Amino acid sequence: MASNLYDNTPLGLYRNRPKFKWVILGVSVAISMASAYYIDILAGQIKAREKKLIVLYANTLEYFSNQENNADLDFIFDGIILSNKSIPVVMTDDLGNPLEYKNIGAADRAATAGARRQVLLDEIREMEKEHEPLLVTLRRGGAVTGHQFIYYKNSRLLAQLKYYPLTQFLVIGIFGMIAFLAFDYSKVAEQNKVWVGLAKETAHQLGTPLSSLMAWVEYLKSDAELKGMEMIAELEKDVERLNMIASRFSHIGSEPILESTNVYRLVERTLGYLKKRISTRVGFTLVCFPNKDLEANINKPLFEWVIENLCKNAVDAMGGEGKIHIKILKANEGQIIIDISDTGKGIPKSGFSKIFQPGFTTKKRGWGLGLTLVKRIIENYHKGKIFVKRSDANRGATFRISLKS
């Protein structure tokens, strides 16, 4: 089945990359969850301890209200009350009027008694949401003389601890993202080096035999006996073609120069070259909206290479027989769109982005580099976009290029 061909990457390049991403994500989530779980246990223990302290506090108050004043016991009382340096506490009378408080910074800072009372009342409302207040029953000689309430809330430590797993998750997330970007960046930088280096080297190596071939052609043309022979014209064409290939490689290997170019005429010319070299059973149509004067910033040799690659793929997909339709149109201001459609076997949805990966091919003798090169030329050298716009099984595919004009 054709779709099975899309399940593997013959050259195996970057096949592990998506997996690698999931592993990292999985480990981060696992670490975060484990620590959230641990923090939760820890928070539970601290909470229990804080509660115990407040209960002790309340019991102490009850006990002392029942005692004659005693200096020794005062010492214990202070020890317990003062040892609480972290849990915010407000003690009120039975009507809810604040009597005393501890560890409430805003109340310490309040300028007037009225302001302080207001702070404490607000605080009590907050505290009620967290914990039920503790009831302290005041007795004297066994008889109940009144009630007090102790309101309290979680210590700052406990409150912060609650947010800790979230903070940690964010930190791990941000760190992971940065690591990924760095990894991607270094990989892209490495790929760039290989592309540029290889292209430069190829252009360079082709240079020498090419200039010698050109000299030979000139020599043959000037030979009285051979002059005018068809063979020489063909030879000249081949040399020209080799020259074009060398020029493409040298453009890939250097900072490309973009020029405002008439897109219609450039595509038309490229199709002209192509038609001669492919089956006559492939029909071409080319249209341009709103008129044929549309211009875009283009590097000619590289852009011709793009059109050629896309058309060759289309011809392959149609098994050498079908229609290629190219539509050039002005989209928004400053944007030119070129749609290349064929009537070939199409691309399954799962292949829409895969086909651009280096080494991905479904052909016996394919290298899977054509579309990688195309994407590179459009995105890196022209700052444009290319993607599969539409494809239906057995009803062809449409590639869309968008360029800046």
Ligand X SMILES: Nc1ncnc2c1ncn2[C@@H]1O[C@H](COP(=O)(O)OP(=O)(O)O)[C@@H](O)[C@H]1O
Q: Which of 199, 242, 236, 200 is nearest to 215 (CA)?
A: 236
342 touches, from Mg ion, ligand X, none (C-beta below 5 to 8 Å by class): ligand X
328 touches, from ligand X, Mg ion, none (C-beta below 5 to 8 Å by class): none
Task: Check residue 322 for interaction with ligand X (CB under 6 A).
Answer: no
Residue 127 or 252: the one with the smaller Cβ distance to ligand X is: 252
Residue 358 or 370: the one with the smaller Cβ distance to Mg ion is: 370
Q: Binding marks (x or -) toward ligand X, 282..321, rule CB under 6 A?
A: -------------------------------xx--x----
360 touches, from ligand X, Mg ion, none (C-beta below 5 to 8 Å by class): ligand X
Tokens 């309101």, residue located? 151
Residue 296 or 397: the one with the smaller Cβ distance to ligand X is: 397
Distance CA 71, CA 370 (A): 93
403 touches, from Mg ion, ligand X, none (C-beta below 5 to 8 Å by class): none
Q: Which residues bind Mg ion (CB under 5 A)?
A: 313, 370
Among 50, 370, 378, 401, indicate the residue that binds ligand X (CB under 6 A). 370
Mark the segment that binds ligand X (CB under 6 A) among 89-97, 267-275, 323-331, 367-375. Answer: 367-375
Check: CB of residue 259 under 8 Å from CB of residue 300: yes
Start-to-end C-alpha separation, the chain: 42
355 touches, from Mg ion, ligand X, none (C-beta below 5 to 8 Å by class): ligand X
14 touches, from ligand X, Mg ion, none (C-beta below 5 to 8 Å by class): none
Residues lying near ligand X in the complex (CB under 6 A):
313-314, 317, 342, 344-347, 355, 360-363, 366-372, 397
